[in-house]
Amino acid sequence: MFNRRAFTQLLAAFGFSAVTPAFAQAKTVDVSMAQSPKMRFIPETVTIRSGDTVKWTNPHNISHTVTFDPSKAATAANAALPAGVAPFDSGAIEEEGTFSHTFTEKGTYKYVCAYHEAMGMVGTVVVS
Ligand SMILES: [Cu+2]
């Protein structure tokens, strides 16, 4: 017969809480940097929750950047930030290099690869 009290004690013995966490754990979402058939971020748009991290990886031998800075974009609107969020920039990411950023402010973030923006290498992070 099911004994709720005994079951709760069993869970506790294994380190589980009987109380369900009120919010999901933060996660990391991967974005790759492609050079063929064209320069682009894959996926070009990611939707995450506040507190999540996006990790960009460059698997190829052409350098890229992850530039969330309107002053460094050819078209400022391609690198737009929510109000009050300071610009940030990975600098050059070489082959096998990575860049990670944890997003804490909600809103829509647009970014560019500073080297290949003109070729359409732009991306979006939506933080909900
Ligand atoms: Cu690039």
9: pLDDT strictly greater than 70: no
Q: Is-above-0.85 flag for pTM?
A: no
CB 18 within 8 A of CB 8: yes
26: CA distance to ligand 1 center in Å? 28
36-50 pLDDT, tens digit each: 899 999 999 999 999
Residue 25 main-chain phi, psi, to 5 deg:
-70, 150
In the block, which residue shows the tokens 């050079």? Answer: 35
- Residues written for the chain: 128
Lowest model confidence (mean pLDDT) among 5-14, 23-32, 97-106: 5-14
65-116 pLDDT, tens digit each: 999 999 999 999 999 999 999 999 999 999 999 999 999 999 999 999 999 9
* 3-class state of residue 40 by DSSP: strand
Residues near ion ligand 1 (CB < 5 Å) are 39, 64, 113, 115-116, 121
14: CA distance to ligand 1 center in Å? 48
User: Given the DSSP bridges, would you call strands 53-57 and 98-102 parallel, antiparallel or unpaired?
Assistant: antiparallel
Mean pLDDT of 18-24: 56
The domains found in the chain, sorted by start residue, are: 24-127 (2.60.40.420)
